[in-house]
A and B are shown apart, each in its own frame.
Chain A
Amino acid sequence: MANRVLLGQDGSDYVLKVSKSGVNVLTAGDDDLVFDSTKPESSFIIKTGTVDLTTGSTSSPPNPLGSSAWVNFGVTLSYYPLVTITRQVGSNTLYPSPEVHFTAGIDSNKNGYSLTTIQTYVEVQASRFRVHALGSQGRSSIATPNLIVSNSTYTFDYIVYALGGATSS
């Protein structure tokens, strides 16, 4: 198909390759391919959705502010897959994760000069993941809205990629 898709033999290998628009798949380099079955990994997604996290009443570091329920992949993998999350912040606004926010006042033990970061991260196992919101100390002069605070519920979009089984060389 106009030298854009190669399904079949390529040298001594049998492959599926798709080149970028305007590039001949038969001569394309790695950076000009949209898909290449000879590579050990791809951006194959096995699950997407949303998950809620409700924070607790304790917000002092290093206690986690809260954790979501476990989200099952529906299959047990032989590796820990890549899971990415973004936090929904109102209509059509997202905070890609890992996010770090800075605010004053959560931990004021150091004469009010100590600022606190709020971090979200993903705990991944072979068959499931969950989201944590964690308080920890840091410093910044930047103030941002929509911080994660105690006793609230937040929604995260997530994507689980079947990515992580390859051995780097």
Chain B
Amino acid sequence: MHWEAQRLVNMANRVLLGKKGTEYGLWISKPGKDVTTANVQDLLFSTSSSDYKYAQILAQGTHTFPTTAGSTHTVTVPCVNNVKPYVIWYSIVTFGTPAYFPGSSLNLNVVVNYSFPSTNNCSVQFYKYGSASPTIGYFITTGEVA
């Protein structure tokens, strides 16, 4: 293999940028794992399959809804060609010490609505039911789910 074509950067067997087997790409293994032999379960990043992606966080934050039923909170994020991002949210409830509940909690339901104001932008709307005034935290990531 010609060294120029191979262009392998293999640092302590954790990061491989270049040729692995018959393909070129970037592979990064988890600590303690040899990137040249690691299975997918032991990788932090891999370009080996079109199924593989990396969930980059496009936006994150918190929001406290007013008591008005049907109140909304909208976050606009980049989404190339209107591919939907992925939304993870959780409620933040304070019982002396803030506690975090994934997804809906007992007095909160939030719906996520998407709209596409332009080809490369997406608006994510959090819609709250009920008259409580909850605080939510959220992450919006690249997803390319469907």
- A: residues with CB less than 8 A from B are 7-9, 13-16, 34-35, 37-50, 74-75, 77-79, 81, 84, 86, 88-89, 92-102, 138, 140-144, 157-159, 161-162, 165-166
- B: residues with CB less than 8 A from A are 9, 11-12, 14-15, 17, 28, 30-31, 39-46, 49, 51-57, 84, 86-89, 102-115, 129-130, 141, 143-146
Least CB distance, B75 to chain A, in whole angstroms: 14
* A95 CA / B144 CA spacing, docked (Å): 17
* A162 CA / B29 CA spacing, docked (Å): 11
* A7 CA / B28 CA spacing, docked (Å): 11
Selected contact of A92 from candidates B12, B104, B113, B145, CB within 8 Å: B113
Q: Which residues of B contact A102 (CB under 8 A)?
A: 109
Least CB distance, B110 to chain A, in whole angstroms: 8
Q: Which residues of A contact B9 (CB under 8 A)?
A: 7
* A151 CA / B103 CA spacing, docked (Å): 25
Nearest to B145 among chain A residues (CB) is A157
Nearest to B51 among chain A residues (CB) is A47
Q: Which residues of B contact A15 (CB under 8 A)?
A: 11, 14-15
Q: Determine chain A's interface SS by DSSP, over half rule.
A: strand
21 CB contacts below 8 A, A to B, read: A7-B11, A37-B14, A37-B15, A40-B31, A42-B44, A42-B54, A43-B56, A44-B45, A49-B146, A86-B87, A93-B114, A94-B114, A96-B112, A97-B103, A141-B130, A142-B108, A142-B129, A142-B130, A143-B129, A158-B145, A162-B40
The answer to whether A34 touches B145 (Cβ under 8 A) is: no
Q: Which residues of B contact A39 (CB under 8 A)?
A: 31, 44
* A41 CA / B109 CA spacing, docked (Å): 30
Q: Which residues of B contact A35 (CB under 8 A)?
A: 45
* A13 CA / B110 CA spacing, docked (Å): 44
* A21 CA / B28 CA spacing, docked (Å): 22
Residue among B42, B46, B105, B145 with the most chain A CB within 10 A? B145
Selected contact of A14 from candidates B14, B86, B107, B109, CB within 8 Å: B14
Q: Which residues of A contact B30 (CB under 8 A)?
A: 40-41, 165-166
Q: Which residues of A contact B15 (CB under 8 A)?
A: 7, 14-16, 37
The answer to whether B109 touches A101 (Cβ under 8 A) is: yes
Known: A159-B145, A165-B42. A14 touches B12 (CB 8 A): yes
Q: Which residues of B contact A92 (CB under 8 A)?
A: 84, 113-115
The answer to whether A93 touches B43 (Cβ under 8 A) is: no
Q: Which residues of A contact B55 (CB under 8 A)?
A: 43-45, 159, 161
Nearest to B29 among chain A residues (CB) is A37
The answer to whether B53 touches A45 (Cβ under 8 A) is: yes
